[in-house]
Structure 1
Amino acid sequence: MPWLQLYIYTNRTEAEALEDILLAAGAASITLQDNADQPILEPALGETPLWDNTRVTGLFDADIDTALCSAAIANGYGKPLPPHKWEQLEDKDWEREWMQNYQPIHFGGDLWICPSWLEPPQPEAVNLLLDPGLAFGTGTHPTTFMCLQWLSEQDLNNQTLMDYGCGSGILGIAALLLGADQLAGVDIDPQALLATADNAQRNHIAAERFPVYLPPKCPEQQFDTVLANILAGPLAELAPTLTSLTRPGGRLCLSGILATQAETVMSAYRDHFQFDPIRQQDEWVCLSATRIH
């Protein structure tokens, strides 16, 4: 099915207003993107930040009258539209195009993550089957990549693990496939718990080996290893919780942290943990440590 895209170049305040206007004008979807290479890496609690220079993209049926549609959008906007243009979207098999963007990823050792529609490059390796979905985490982001690298280097045989902020379940599933005995997952998002359970089933992991919980139902026990790939602020706030979940002599792996935030996060845990050398990829770091008391 052919489509037209309307690009509008504006600021953060106007971008939010234009979303509803474009939807009312018949847009099938709206995308907001950075138009000036201004990264937003970790918003403050309760914030939904946008870029100073934002490109608003509306996707429309190719049969629409663009002049009438532009007039309707300008009328809803209440003033002349910011710089904008219409563009024909190339007619492709978009589902196939999307699938081609995801290829198997090697994380070190025997660990691979493979989309379910592709044959694993090394069938005899530890192959985690994972398709992009609603919950965060396909292994491509540096924060997840470094956690998976760290897991691939550990001896997890007969270990119990906690994945706090399990998202898609990628870290927990990898740990179980690498030899862990039992794993519990916790997340504040019910959709993440559903995604984790679905991905565990896809990888032939029985539900009783990877139960998932909302935080109030988190098991009150200690684990051999605790994983948390969240963000720096929550990781610092969760230090008492994650410490209590880690047995003395157990291991801790924290990610979702910018290099500039590493010292702040480490200081929240230093009373109980001895940290390893910092692992870094681009501007992100992964912290691992052993609980000393």
Structure 2
Amino acid sequence: MPSSAGGYSLPRAYPPHLSGAGNYRCTDPQPVSGWLQISVVVAQPAVKRAVEVMDGLGAIAVSRESTAVKEFFDEARSKDHEWDEEKITGLFAADTDLSVVCGHLKTVLGHQTTPCVQALPDRDWELAGQEQFKPIHIRDNLWVCPSWCQPEYPDAINLMIDPGLAFGSGTHPTTCLCLEHLTRLNLNGSTVLDWGCGSGIQALAALRLGASKAIGVDIDPIALDTSRNNAERNGVGSRLRLMFPEQVPSDLLCDVLIANIFAHTLIDLAPTLEQHLSRRGTLMLSGLLKGQAERVLSAFGSRYTFKAEQRDEWVLLIAVSGV
């Protein structure tokens, strides 16, 4: 919805003191609560320039997302995503001079660019985020519960896991599929290897379900720190070892191996994962879409007979070594 001044797109609920023609600066002498969200859709190679403009003009945060209807999760991408077209969004203080920000964006990106501006009310974002996460019943007596919630069934197995930077809060279909299958296994006295452990949720569940020890492996130090903290919170810190892939002993064998990671990574890691699974051990592979399953299966060869469990478009592949 272009405005009468500068071609900026303003929502109908925009504050009156910011919507006058040619006047995009906050005129209220009192501090203004809330934020301004300014977005532009740009094609490569202008993405980095748009990010630099917003960052240079004082954006508190800048996010990037693809405008494509469908994304492909099976491609290894560089840290610079290089999507063909992206939506760049900057979060600014409410008293930001819109004419400066939008003017610079149009100068750098071209006058055909139409920034979209939205006013966001101030709120307790920590509380708002917490409200989105409630206890999740996985199966039988296994629950995943954020620390700010009181477990609904105190006598159940409650994994206290807070959503964070490391993957694995119990909400994603692949996480749920893996956790559900763990409840079906007899884990008493077993050794479990969680490759790509993220938050450590799979390893922690295995330990709470009877495994004697677990090993969590990840390339991300934040994931390892998060797993360590979650293990302490759940009372299993002494039974969980955490390490980077290069630290895994070559002779390490496990009874259950879980790898909930991308399909192309599973394919690349197939020889390594097979090396660490004991004879008649259980192999659990997830993080892949239904259309990627055949390629993952072919990477592990005829030594395994797999069965598949599916939720939405996501798949868990399960096999027993040597059977």
In which range does the TM-score fall when normalised by the shorter chain? over 0.9
- How many residues are treated as equivalent by the alignment? 290
Answer yes or no: is 1:211 the counterpart of 2:233: no
Provide the secondary structure at the position in 2 that maps to 1:57: strand
Tell me by how many angstroms 1:81 deviates: 5.8
Structure 1 residue matching 2:259: 3-state secondary structure: strand
**Which among 229, 235, 248 is matched to residue 266 of structure 2?**
235
How much identity, in percent, do the aligned residues show? 39
Residue 41 of structure 2 corresponds to: 9
Q: CA deviation at 1:51?
A: 4.5
The partner residue of 2:90 within 55, 58, 76 is: 58
CA distance in 1, matches of 2:292, 2:34: 46
1:261 pairs, out of 292, 297, 301, with 292
1:244 aligns with 2:267: no
Calculate the TM-score normalised by the size of structure 1: 0.93
SS class of match (1:13):
coil
| Cα deviation digits, residues 216-270 of structure 1 (max 9, x gap) | 1103221111111111111112111111111101111000111111111112223
Q: Give 1 or 2 for the bigger CA radius of gyration.
A: 2
Deviation at 1:109, TM superposition (A): 1.3
1:70 pairs with 102, 108, 127, which one? 102
TM score, norm. by length of structure 2: 0.85
1:97 alignment partner AA: A
Deviation at 1:210, TM superposition (A): 0.5
The 3-state SS of whatever aligns with 1:211 is strand
**Aligned partner of residue 270 in structure 1, secondary structure:** helix
Distance 1:40 1:92 in 2: 34
Contact 1:160 1:183 (8 Å CA) reproduced: yes
- Equivalent residue of 2:106, what SS? helix
Gapped regions of structure 2 (runs ≥ 5): 1-32
Query: Is the counterpart of residue 84 in structure 1 residue 115 in structure 2?
Result: yes
1:272 CA drift (Å): 2.2
Residues 109-166 of structure 1: CA distance to partner in whole angstroms, max 9, x if unpaired?
A: 1111111000112211110011111212212111211111111221111111111111
> Does 2:156 correspond to 1:125?
yes
The DSSP-based 3-state class of the residue aligned with 1:238 is helix
- SS of alignment partner, residue 243 of structure 1: helix
**Within 5 Å, which residues of 2 pair with 1:89-238?**
89-206=120-237, 208-219=238-249, 220-238=251-269
Residue 13 (structure 2) aligns with: none
| 1:187/1:60 CA distance change after superposition, 3 Å | same
Aligned residue type for 1:201: E
**CA distance in structure 2 between the partners assigned to 1:172 and 1:216 by the alignment:** 19
State the partner residue of 1:285: 315
Per-residue deviation, 1:72 = 3.2
Change (3 A) 1:78 1:163: closer
1:30 aligns with 2:58: no
The letter of the residue matching 2:311 is Q
Q: CA deviation at 1:47?
A: 6.3
Query: 2:79, 2:90 → 1: CA distance?
Result: 24
CA contact (8 A) 1:9 1:54 kept: yes
Is the Cα–Cα contact under 8 Å of residues 246 and 291 in structure 1 kept in the other structure?
yes
- Counterpart for residue 43 of structure 1: 75
Q: Which moved more, 1:78-87 or 1:258-267?
A: 78-87
Task: Letter of the 2:129 partner, please give it.
Answer: W
Q: Secondary structure, in 3 states, of the residue corresponding to 1:292?
A: coil
Contact 1:279 1:287 (C-alpha < 8 Å) held by counterparts: yes
Query: Following the alignment from structure 1 to structure 2, what is the Cα–Cα distance between the partners of residues 224 and 107?
Result: 22
Q: Check conservation: 1:25, 1:69, Cα contact below 8 A.
A: yes
